[in-house]
């Protein structure tokens, strides 16, 4: 494996589930939450943790799809980007959302692990102007951003 790819994988892992210096990663930020906590909104029109988890899962899929040149519309849920979730969804649906997040991360990680150093400097098969390396670094930062957002929502919830 190219050292550049190994470094991207290490960053993906830290942002998602491995110990990191910056505090809770994405997986750690949702660990132990129940459906009611995940569905709580910090204010009218604001996203809840559940919606953020589905949003993060969607963008892991979207990046993987761009890297693969796959067709649009093959995500597990209908729609794209943000998925509305209310308090009445139930515990099983929350567990499904976390499982989807984990599954999409694993699929993305496998795709990144298969990249070569030459792949990193190309634009993805699906087109676009962003190089593959930039796209992968972006999804790492996306995880860290939303993990922090989830931590803030949890803090607000417990006031």
With beta carbons less than 8 A apart as the criterion, state whether 96 and 106 touch: no
**What pLDDT is attached to residue 49?**
97
Domain that holds residue 30: 3-157
Residues 148 and 129: their CA atoms lie apart, in Å, by 28
Domain count for the chain? 1
**What pLDDT is attached to residue 63?**
94
**What pLDDT is attached to residue 118?**
96
Residues 14 and 118: their CA atoms lie apart, in Å, by 24
With beta carbons less than 8 A apart as the criterion, state whether 42 and 31 touch: no
- Please state, as a whole number, how many other Cβ atoms lie within 10 Å of the Cβ of residue 116: 13
**CATH code of 51's domain:** 1.20.120.450
Stretches where the chain sits below pLDDT 50 are: none
**What pLDDT is attached to residue 71?**
75
**What pLDDT is attached to residue 23?**
84
With beta carbons less than 8 A apart as the criterion, state whether 49 and 37 touch: yes
Q: Quick one: which of 62, 140, 57 has its CA closest to 100? A: 57
**What pLDDT is attached to residue 155?**
95
pLDDT digits (tens, 9 = 90+) for 79-108: 889 998 876 677 889 999 999 999 999 999
């Amino acid at each position: 494996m190219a050292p550049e790819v190994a470094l991207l994988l290490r960053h993906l892992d830290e942002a998602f589930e491995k110990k990191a210096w910056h505090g809770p990663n994405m997986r750690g930020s949702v660990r132990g939450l129940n459906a009611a906590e995940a569905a709580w909104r910090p204010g009218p029109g604001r996203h809840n943790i559940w919606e953020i988890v589905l949003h993060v899962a969607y963008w892991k899929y979207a990046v993987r799809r761009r890297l693969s040149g796959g067709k649009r519309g093959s995500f597990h849920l209908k729609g794209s980007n943000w998925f509305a979730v209310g308090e009445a969804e139930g515990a099983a649906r929350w567990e499904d959302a976390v499982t989807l997040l984990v599954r999409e991360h694993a699929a993305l990680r496998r795709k990144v692990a298969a990249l070569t150093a030459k792949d990193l400097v190309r634009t993805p098969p699906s087109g676009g102007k962003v190089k593959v390396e930039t796209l992968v670094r972006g999804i790492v930062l996306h995880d860290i951003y939303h993990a922090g957002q989830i931590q803030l929502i949890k803090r607000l919830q417990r006031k």
